[in-house]
Amino acid sequence: MIGILGKSGRITEMKEVIELMKNDSCECKDSVFVAAIKTYAKTGMPDEALSLFKSIPQFNCVNWTESFNTILQIMVNESRFDDAGRLFLDNSSRWEVSSRIQSLNLLMRTLCEKGCSDVALQVFQEMDYQGIHPDRESYQVLMRGLCQDGKLNEGIHLLYSMFWRISLKGSGEDVVIYRTLLDALCDNGKVEEAVEILGKILRKGLKAPKRCRIRIDLSQCSNFEDVESIKRLINEALVKGGIPSLASYRAMAVDLYNENNINDGDKVLKEMQDRGFRPTPSVYEAKLAAFCRRGELDAVKVVEVEMVKANCVPTVKFYNIVVRGLCEGGKSACAIGYLKKMAKQMGCVADEETYGVLVDGLCREGKFLEASRVLEEMLVKSYWPCAETYNGLIKGLCSMGRQYEAVMWLEEMISQEDFPWSASEQQHNPKKERKIGGSCPSVLKALPRTDCDASYLL
């Protein structure tokens, strides 16, 4: 109920239900508070989000790790670093918060995204004093942030700390962190230093046998001008220089695809298969997402065929990427075909994201009748659309003269107590009377008095 009220922007009613929940002392799930906190943040009410989090101990909730991580991220996004620091100090050691390292990684990630990698580095250095051991994600987040901000010396020192902390066994998954630094050094004209550090990575980081350590002959590269070729040679050395493993190939391929570097990603994928490793769904999901970001929607079918040939079954996430890509590319009609394909595949059930993206995509293209049919199926599966989805569909149906269908959807909307007022309207008018009449919402104005029986609603 709290989630539905939050989606429809009914903040006052959501507060009332939260208060009832506290008074009833019923067991509360962490996800309920996460949804409410995100709703407050989305509607520009960070103080309300912070107040709700601080009141969680008054509820019957035994684990609120995700709520803690969510409010921490919101405070950093709002540049309220003092509040974020106090939150961490006051709550990170509570037994209701199960993982401090997860919270710190999230904090560092958000800081790096805001260009504050120096502050993230301070957080990282404080881990020792807190008795917390950084994990692979900690290094990956911080290394990427430092390199993006041009702090390469700090990145090199971070690399050396990895050698005696998490790389003692030569894990292949570390290859993504190494690659981030080496690429940044090359991009900043420090090619010789990158090659020198590559040798140390192969010896100390990846524990590569001598026979596997690939030497890069820089004399073949004219004046170091062809930076991309040098980076390609370094990537090849990282992949072939370490002990072959599924984790290293997967990590490198996904990282390359995430950068839209499809050609190099395909080379790693081929090397992976030639070595006898079967790609995981995450590799093909990353490749598909790269094609969609580049607008190459014709490649969707090719990736799907490749995936099946590799004995890898498409997942719900894979199909959601397909549907989103097709809808954003103006091909929502094709996306409907994938919805039908999901229904035929065992264990692959379309979720709320699938239907929501498809309905919105069809409405953007003016295919409101098709959107109505998909929305009907969505409701049958007990997924509830947000108010914006209803509003867009109703206005679209009215614009094409289908007032009867529009009224039917309006009644469905009202039956769910999901009135078509925006979140901002409710925020500025919290005491606004909830009835159909008086001040008329725009969605109702779209229904003409003379052409349909909805005039009584106005």
C-alpha dihedral, 62 to 66 to 67 to 68, nearest 10°: 90
Q: How far is CA 3 from CA 47, 359, 417, 424, in A?
A: 19, 20, 13, 17
**pLDDT of 149 strictly over 70:** yes
pLDDT class of 147 with cuts at 50, 70, 90: very high
348 within some domain: yes
Question: Is the pLDDT at 414 greater than 90, yes or no?
Answer: no
Residue 452 maps to a domain: yes
In a shared domain, residues 19 and 69: yes
pLDDT at 427: 41
3-class secondary structure per residue, 15-66: HHHHHHHHHHCCECCHHHHHHHHHHHHHCCCHHHHHHHHHCHHHCECCCCHH
Evaluate whether 35 touches 6 at the Cβ level (below 8 Å).
yes
191 compared with 23, residue with greater pLDDT: 191
Same domain membership, residue 93 and residue 35:
yes
Look over the chain and give the mean of its residue pLDDT values, rounded to a whole number: 81
Give percent of the chain with pLDDT exceeding 70: 82
425 shares its domain with 367: no
Instruction: Give a yes or no: residue 231 inside a domain.
Output: no
In angstroms, the CA 406 to CA 447 distance is 8
Distance CA 253, CA 283 (A): 7
**Does 80 map to a domain?**
yes
Structural domain count, the chain: 3
Q: Is residue 347 part of a domain?
A: yes
Question: Is the same domain home to 337 and 413?
Answer: no
Predicted local distance difference test score (pLDDT) of residue 440: 38
pLDDT top residue among 199 and 451: 199
Tell me which residue range forms the domain holding 356. 321-385
Rounded to the nearest 10 degrees, how much is the dihedral formed by the CA atoms of 126, 131, 133, 137? Answer: -50
Task: Please indicate, yes or no, if residue 137 is contained in any of the structural domains.
Answer: no
The larger pLDDT score, comparing residue 86 to residue 282, is at 282
Q: Same domain, yes or no, for 13 and 94?
A: yes
One domain for residues 373 and 345: yes
Residues 406 and 371 in one domain: no
The verdict on 434 and 343 lying in the same domain is no
Confidence of residue 169 (pLDDT cuts 50, 70, 90): low
Residue 155 lies inside a defined structural domain of this protein: no
Whether residue 380 is found in the same domain as residue 407: no
Q: List the CATH number of the domain containing 11.
A: 1.25.40.10
- If you average pLDDT over residues 53-72, what whole number do you get? 86
Residue 86's contacts (CB-CB under 8 Å, 6 or more residues apart) are none
Residue 45, C-beta contacts closer than 8 angstroms, at least 6 positions apart: 11, 427
Query: Which of 357, 385, 413 is where one domain is finished?
Result: 385
Give the pLDDT of residue 19: 82
Count, in order, helices (H) and strands (E) of the chain. Answer: 25, 0
Is 441 or 350 the better-scoring residue by pLDDT?
Answer: 350
Q: Are residues 432 and 364 in the same domain?
A: no
Least confident of 37-46, 260-269, 284-293: 37-46
Are 337 and 370 in the same domain? yes
Last residue of a domain, one of 65, 98, 131: 98
- Residue that is written with structure tokens 């090849």 in the block: 236
- Name the burial class of residue 75, with classes exposed (0-12), middle (13-18) and buried (19+) by CB atoms within 10 angstroms of its CB: buried
pLDDT at position 288 is 94
User: Could you give the CA distance from residue 103 to residue 111 in angstroms, rounded to a whole number?
Assistant: 12
Q: Which residue has the tokens 């103006």?
A: 330
Does 91 fall in a domain? yes
